[in-house]
Amino acid sequence: MRNEAEPAEDRWGSSRARLVAVVIGAAFTVIVGRSAQVALAGDASTSRPHASREVARRADIVDRKGELLATTLPAYSLSADPSVIWDAGDVARGLASVLPGLDVRDLTKRLSDKDRQFVWVQRGLTPAQRQAVFKLGLEGLHFQEEQVRVYPGGHLAGHLLGFANVDGKGIDGVERVFNTQLAKGGAPLKLTIDSGVQFALESELERATEDFTFKGAAGIVVDASTGAVRAIASWPFIDPNHPGDRTDTAATDRATNSVFELGSIYKPLTVAAAIEAGDLTPQDTFDVTNPIKVGSALIHDEHPFEHSSAFTATDIIAYSSNVGAVQIGQRLGPEKLKAFLDSVGLLDRPSFDGPSSAAPLTPASWDPLTAATVSFGHGIAVSPLSFVMSYVPFANGGDYLQPLFVEPADPAAIKRRRVMSPETAHTVVAMMRQTVLVGTGKNAAAPGYEVAGKTGTAEKPGPDGYDPNANVTSFAAVFPASRPQYVVLVVLDDAQPKTGDRRTAAYTSASIVGRFIARAAPLLDVHPVLQEPVETPIGPAGQPGTRTASESRTL
């Protein structure tokens, strides 16, 4: 029985307790509901300015055969609303337990700012990471579905592809150049490169690190009939899946954005210019016995040659005579040499649809001394991409082409510019073939594939002049010589052998090119010559390389 004499304040206290309990219960229900709401993906909070919006799926990038090089996958980005978070430190520590890369101290500080309603926690989470965060049951979190760019080949063609940022915008390489087209979605962007050939090129550059140390390297393969770049690589490689891991050394694309003095691989260009101008015939001879003085400079060869009083242009290329190249350059003259090098794209930044390319460093004036040094590849610095295109006319009968990085819709519409006659192109390729058969390029031989080419070893310029202890070694090749189809260039920056002292192009770049061609030619549908002529020098009085006798051998 109720005590009628119970004090009034006690009756009110009981009612007040019940009221407080109801209020607390209602508040708890609201808070729990809100916590659950903001923790779920796609909730009302995603309507804030930073919420996801409907965007087209970025188009894939594929190689010439349709092999996938870059694609877009769904991902999730995690954000937080600090204004509804009770314990910022607890939330930060909980998230770090499933997202180990988070900085707990920094995240705690950002989540503690109650004046903010939105902060990013982490972009690009996987579905598994998203589920792990859900299971934590933390307040104030929400997800936004986004897109993440993925490169299935890892570092394969990494510099060429470039990468897109977390917002799907192209930042570097093809991703940047064709960003507008890719952002619209639709059909894949089909590049000219061949993944198999690209892999072979990168593998051979990587393999070279077993024999040499070098600061960097570049390699390029071009289809001479169209200018299509079938492979292009810069070492050290980069993985566009992890652009933040790039070192300063790896960040630069040496194939397109570095310039080098490349040395004697210019000699075939000097010879071609002189033949085309009518200032040289293949039968002309030169005395390369002694150094030659041009102005105040004394130009000499690194080593004496036998029978060097009657060198032909073939011998000058095959045995790499600076003295002989200078004499040819003198016949040609500075202006005609300059005009020819300009015609093959070596005096201006190339213009094409593709990754950016460095402008060349060219002589300020073209005087006799300039012509002398440029005739054998000193005093002018160009990108490997620009240089490899200068050899394309040798392989296609005389037409200069711009590099192609995207498969053309109409190959017949490719612009061509005649820079030499088919006869000149054929003659110089035959001379470069001798370089591989009997000259400085023997290590570039790939039996059955008739490699023709030229070595280049150039001392690197520095503040105190050219450094004899640092060089750039290169080998430029055309193959197969009897039916040219492809041009290859490999450049090594300051290659030093791990054993011995053989640091010229004959032992560095040439050997890489030879191994690469033997490996990649079948991938390029180049069939070997089964009855390849073995050419033996039988020049007059033992003169090397002026005429050849041939016999057949079965490979």
Which residues form the catalytic set? 264
The residues pairing with 236 across neighbouring beta strands, listed in sequence order, are: none
* Contact predicate 444/456, CB 8 Å: no
Half-sphere exposure of 388 (CA within 13 A, CB side): 31
Half-sphere exposure of 54 (CA within 13 A, CB side): 0
* Contact predicate 120/77, CB 8 Å: yes
Q: Find the radius of gyration of the CA atoms of the chain.
A: 33
**Which tokens in the block code for residue 468?**
């004899």
> How many other CB atoms sit within 10 Å of the CB of residue 323?
21
- Residue located via tokens 């010879």: 271
The phi-psi region of residue 465 (left if phi > 0; otherwise alpha if psi is between -120 and 50; otherwise beta) is left
* Contact predicate 294/378, CB 8 Å: no
Q: Which candidate, 352, 349, 405, places its Cα nearest to that of 174? A: 405
Label residue 104 exposed, middle or buried (CB < 10 Å: 0-12, 13-18, 19+).
middle
* Contact predicate 127/76, CB 8 Å: yes
How far apart CA 323 and CA 264 sit, in angstroms, is 12
β-strands 189-190, 61-62: how paired?
A: parallel
Q: Which candidate, 226, 266, 273, places its Cα nearest to that of 420? A: 273
Alpha helices (H) in 319-445, listed in sequence order: 322-332, 334-343, 368-374, 384-390, 392-396, 422-437
Distances (CA, A) of 479 to 224, 437, 528: 10, 13, 11
**H or E stretch covering 132:** helix 127-136
SS3 content of the chain, % helix, strand, coil (to 5): 35, 25, 40
Across the beta sheet with 465-479, the strand order is: 228-235, 216-223, 486-493, 465-479, 452-462
The phi-psi region of residue 445 (left if phi > 0; otherwise alpha if psi is between -120 and 50; otherwise beta) is beta
- Residue located via tokens 């002989």: 324
Residues near 206 by Cβ (< 8 Å), separated by ≥ 6? 235, 237
Q: Which candidate, 169, 171, 96, 386, places its Cα nearest to that of 269? A: 386
Say what the alpha-carbon torsion angle 528, 533, 535, 538 is, to the nearest 10 degrees. -170
DSSP structure string for 65-93: T--EEEEEEEEEEEEE-GGG-S-HHHHHH
